[in-house]
A and B are shown apart, each in its own frame.
Chain A
């Protein structure tokens, strides 16, 4: 894909600040877009302040689509992987592939704002396709949220986590990894085995005192 329109950041930034301050995410340099998608806040070269030097390159391919959610009951959209773990100060070269005929995003949150405005790295594909972009992670041991921000896509499974140096724990409701904070309620499978187990336990409970007293009498 070719990104033909690179925004003139200074001119745009000024005009947007005057006309439309709420739309801060449109005003920064490093945003490229065309009719296939966009890349925001990619960073191939700038080292985070807490890094002495680049630890190395990590190439990651991330696929997005409804088919990747089939292995997670109750989900509709997902990435093909739900977790990545990289060394501090790694440069991650992402190949983002959209397998669906609709829009998907790959957003990473909580990055240092002095490199990534609003702490955000954002890839978006307007349909089936592929794009590549890089970012450099700080040295801090941390778990970053990776998700698609279309309405209900994260809620329906398109959520993952990027750990640096093992991360600082798991985020909630990552498919196959962590529990939701607010869970659905499902019917319980009361079958014959359950009833037999209950009846048996009930009978044992009833007999137990008599058996114990007998035992005591003998002793």
Chain B
């Protein structure tokens, strides 16, 4: 074939390519007149993620009761604290009946109450044993998480917690991967009486070294035997080992305890809790463990002098990427390397915000403050997030009474509706439900939450985070759930909502107008023409190459 034909073919190819480009399909189309219709994102197994707002597993736990001589206040919530845990926490695991101990998961040496040294009617030597538990961790036996603990529907971040020493299975039952109810976030609130001789033993059941540092609690730097008593990094308690910290606190107040090994990481993994020293009074049996924080069902003598109720509120945040390290690795060496060296904590973010171990809507099950009118309620609040919180109560202004466990003189007890709490700070508030237009605006189901906007999100999904409700008891139903919120509850007690599969307003009357937009159909003819032209161009190119080659040969 002459060279002229080759030139013509080449020009033809060039033209063809230009036309092909013209017919290239768009990645995004704009509709001519009508936008695509709203689609339902979930069709198959659509409601599989929806759960009952309240499982109502132990209605008999709600009423006021007396167990082994321990008076336990009523708790109207959906998930009240186990009253047997409360009884054991007040009397000690060594002084309750075997029947009561059997209703807890506590070991018999978890809390040993000793002698009444000053003969004022309550024990003064207290032995507390804590273990360390991993929740939502990985397993070499399959691609699933073990000892699971949901902070919200379907949300299972990897967590470490201190737990009272337990006995028996760590799982809820034989055929389950769910952790037993004693093993949960946050680490238990620990209460002792001012002047008590308290021995806190860390039995490190975990696979990394840890300590207990008693933040703000009056403690000597060394034990009587001259050993470490401050829980610093260089005195780490290694796996399989134990260490006892000794205190005899002279000052009462709301304090903290936390692990001080690789502190930035271990703190954000959940190794922190409230440590409360109650004022010394005669016959003052304090509730040593408040499992899961929240309402104190057996308040101390001093608290009862001024308040009708007491609640512990613990604000915690989780870094999703940090917590995933224990879910993607099993080998402790890989976990240690990933956490300490590969992951840079200065690039950490907070993705989950928890009040008492749960994010909304699970805060509705056990994180409510349930009040009556004309009550005075003591709130002990700790912030262990990496960011400050700005705690806001709807419909109320509370009074600040203590900062970091130190009482303020009356003149400095300010009344506010937003309280800023820096990381590791504690505030004691007096919340009064007196409908006077200042302390309370009226009975209601009033939200309370961190007013930093991200605080009410769960990995970016709203409503979530540490949102909870200050609920007047007359507005709770018999299962302790807030009335008048049915539509919201149906929307958020759904793991597909927090998995970001369901649109926000799908359950409303506006589902059609605010649901997910469907897809546009592609221009089939245009796409076919484009494909034809691409094929033609390629074919022509090969033809030309072969042609040149044959010409040379």
Q: Which residues of A contact B (CB under 8 A)?
A: 5, 7, 12, 15-16, 19-20, 22-26, 33-35, 38, 65-67, 73-77, 100-103, 118, 120, 122, 124, 126-127, 149-156, 172-173, 180-184, 186
Interface of A is mostly: loop
Please indicate the chain A residues that have their CB under 8 angstroms from the CB of B172 in the complex.
Answer: 22
Q: Is the CB of A34 within 8 A of B147?
A: no
Which of B98, B168, B241 interacts with A7 by CB under 8 Å? B98
Which of A19, A35, A156 interacts with B109 by CB under 8 Å? A35
Which of A5, A15, A102, A124 interacts with B205 by CB under 8 Å? A102
Please indicate the chain B residues that have their CB under 8 angstroms from the CB of A126 in the complex.
Answer: 107-109, 165, 167
Is B60 part of the binding interface, using a Cβ–Cβ cutoff of 8 Å? yes
Please indicate the chain B residues that have their CB under 8 angstroms from the CB of A172 in the complex.
Answer: 140-141
Q: Is the CB of A184 within 8 A of B329?
A: yes
* Chain A residue with the shortest CB-CB distance to B108: A35
* Residues of B302-353 contacting chain A, CB below 8 A: 329-334
- In angstroms, Cα B173 to Cα A149, docked, is 11
Please indicate the chain A residues that have their CB under 8 angstroms from the CB of B370 in the complex.
Answer: none
Chain B interface residue count, Cβ-Cβ cutoff 8 angstroms: 49
- In angstroms, Cα B174 to Cα A120, docked, is 9
Q: Is the CB of A77 within 8 A of B239?
A: yes
> Are A155 and B139 also in contact (CB < 8 A) when A23-B103, A102-B242 are?
yes
Q: CB-CB contacts of B455-497 with A at 8 A, as 1s and 0s?
A: 0000000000000000000000000000000000000000000
Please indicate the chain A residues that have their CB under 8 angstroms from the CB of B102 in the complex.
Answer: 12, 16, 23, 26
Please indicate the chain B residues that have their CB under 8 angstroms from the CB of A26 in the complex.
Answer: 102, 168
A-B pair count, CB < 8 Å, reads 140
Please indicate the chain A residues that have their CB under 8 angstroms from the CB of B60 in the complex.
Answer: 19
Distance between B464 CB and nearest chain A CB, rounded to angstroms: 26
Q: CB-CB contacts of B168-209 with A at 8 A, as 1s and 0s?
A: 111111100001000100000000000000000001111100
Please indicate the chain A residues that have their CB under 8 angstroms from the CB of B330 in the complex.
Answer: 74, 155-156, 180, 182-184
* Residues of B121-148 contacting chain A, CB below 8 A: 131, 133-135, 137-143, 146-147
Which of A16, A149, A173 interacts with B170 by CB under 8 Å? A149
**What would be 18 A-B contacts, judged by CB atoms less than 8 Å apart?**
A25-B169, A35-B107, A35-B109, A66-B240, A74-B330, A75-B332, A77-B239, A102-B203, A102-B204, A103-B107, A103-B131, A103-B205, A126-B167, A150-B170, A151-B133, A151-B183, A152-B207, A186-B334
Q: Which residues of B contact A (CB under 8 A)?
A: 60, 94, 98-99, 102-103, 107-109, 131, 133-135, 137-143, 146-147, 165, 167-174, 179, 183, 203-207, 238-242, 329-334
- In angstroms, Cα B253 to Cα A8, docked, is 43
Please indicate the chain B residues that have their CB under 8 angstroms from the CB of A77 in the complex.
Answer: 207, 239-240
- In angstroms, Cα B102 to Cα A16, docked, is 9
Q: Is the CB of B146 within 8 A of A33?
A: no
- In angstroms, Cα B180 to Cα A20, docked, is 14
Q: Is the CB of A65 within 8 A of B240?
A: yes
Please indicate the chain B residues that have their CB under 8 angstroms from the CB of A182 in the complex.
Answer: 138-143, 330
Please indicate the chain A residues that have their CB under 8 angstroms from the CB of B107 in the complex.
Answer: 35, 103, 126
- In angstroms, Cα B207 to Cα A155, docked, is 10
- In angstroms, Cα B135 to Cα A182, docked, is 18
Distance between B253 CB and nearest chain A CB, rounded to angstroms: 31
Please indicate the chain B residues that have their CB under 8 angstroms from the CB of A65 in the complex.
Answer: 240
Distance between B130 CB and nearest chain A CB, rounded to angstroms: 11
* Known contacts A155-B330, A173-B140, then 16 further A-B pairs from the complex at CB < 8 Å, ordered by chain A residue: A12-B102, A16-B102, A16-B103, A65-B240, A74-B332, A76-B239, A102-B204, A150-B205, A151-B170, A152-B207, A154-B141, A155-B140, A181-B142, A182-B139, A182-B141, A182-B330
Please indicate the chain B residues that have their CB under 8 angstroms from the CB of A38 in the complex.
Answer: 167-168
Please indicate the chain A residues that have their CB under 8 angstroms from the CB of B98 in the complex.
Answer: 5, 7
Q: Is the CB of A35 within 8 A of B179?
A: no
> Are A183 and B108 also in contact (CB < 8 A) when A12-B102, A151-B134, A151-B146 are?
no
- In angstroms, Cα B238 to Cα A26, docked, is 32
* Chain B residue with the shortest CB-CB distance to A34: B108
- In angstroms, Cα B137 to Cα A124, docked, is 23
- In angstroms, Cα B206 to Cα A100, docked, is 12
Q: Is the CB of A118 within 8 A of B146?
A: no
* Chain A residue with the shortest CB-CB distance to B57: A22
Which of A5, A102, A124 interacts with B168 by CB under 8 Å? A124
Please indicate the chain B residues that have their CB under 8 angstroms from the CB of A25 in the complex.
Answer: 168-169, 173-174
Please indicate the chain A residues that have their CB under 8 angstroms from the CB of B165 in the complex.
Answer: 103, 126
- In angstroms, Cα B94 to Cα A35, docked, is 8
Please indicate the chain B residues that have their CB under 8 angstroms from the CB of A103 in the complex.
Answer: 107, 131, 165, 167, 203, 205
Q: Is the CB of B103 within 8 A of A184?
A: no
Q: Is the CB of B173 within 8 A of A22?
A: yes
- Of all A-B residue pairs in the complex, the 3 with the closest CB atoms, nearest first, are A180-B140, A74-B331, A66-B240
Q: Is the CB of A33 within 8 A of B167?
A: yes
Distance between A72 CB and nearest chain B CB, rounded to angstroms: 10
- In angstroms, Cα B205 to Cα A101, docked, is 9
* Chain A residue with the shortest CB-CB distance to B326: A152
Q: Is the CB of A152 within 8 A of B137?
A: yes
- In angstroms, Cα B101 to Cα A16, docked, is 12
- In angstroms, Cα B247 to Cα A126, docked, is 24
Distance between B77 CB and nearest chain A CB, rounded to angstroms: 19
- In angstroms, Cα B167 to Cα A124, docked, is 8
- In angstroms, Cα B108 to Cα A16, docked, is 18
Q: Is the CB of B109 within 8 A of A152?
A: no
- In angstroms, Cα B525 to Cα A54, docked, is 82
Distance between A52 CB and nearest chain B CB, rounded to angstroms: 30
Q: Is the CB of B240 within 8 A of A100?
A: yes
Q: Is the CB of A151 within 8 A of B239?
A: no
Q: Is the CB of B139 within 8 A of A101?
A: no
- In angstroms, Cα B97 to Cα A7, docked, is 11
Distance between A1 CB and nearest chain B CB, rounded to angstroms: 13
Q: Is the CB of B131 within 8 A of A15?
A: no
Please indicate the chain A residues that have their CB under 8 angstroms from the CB of B206 in the complex.
Answer: 152
Please indicate the chain B residues that have their CB under 8 angstroms from the CB of A127 in the complex.
Answer: 203, 242
Please indicate the chain B residues that have their CB under 8 angstroms from the CB of A181 in the complex.
Answer: 140-143
Q: Is the CB of B134 within 8 A of A173?
A: no
Please indicate the chain B residues that have their CB under 8 angstroms from the CB of A151 in the complex.
Answer: 133-135, 137, 146-147, 170, 179, 183, 205
Q: Is the CB of A149 within 8 A of B240?
A: no
Distance between B213 CB and nearest chain A CB, rounded to angstroms: 20
Distance between B457 CB and nearest chain A CB, rounded to angstroms: 29
Q: Is the CB of A153 within 8 A of B334?
A: no
- In angstroms, Cα B180 to Cα A22, docked, is 11
Please indicate the chain A residues that have their CB under 8 angstroms from the CB of B94 in the complex.
Answer: 35
- In angstroms, Cα B143 to Cα A183, docked, is 9
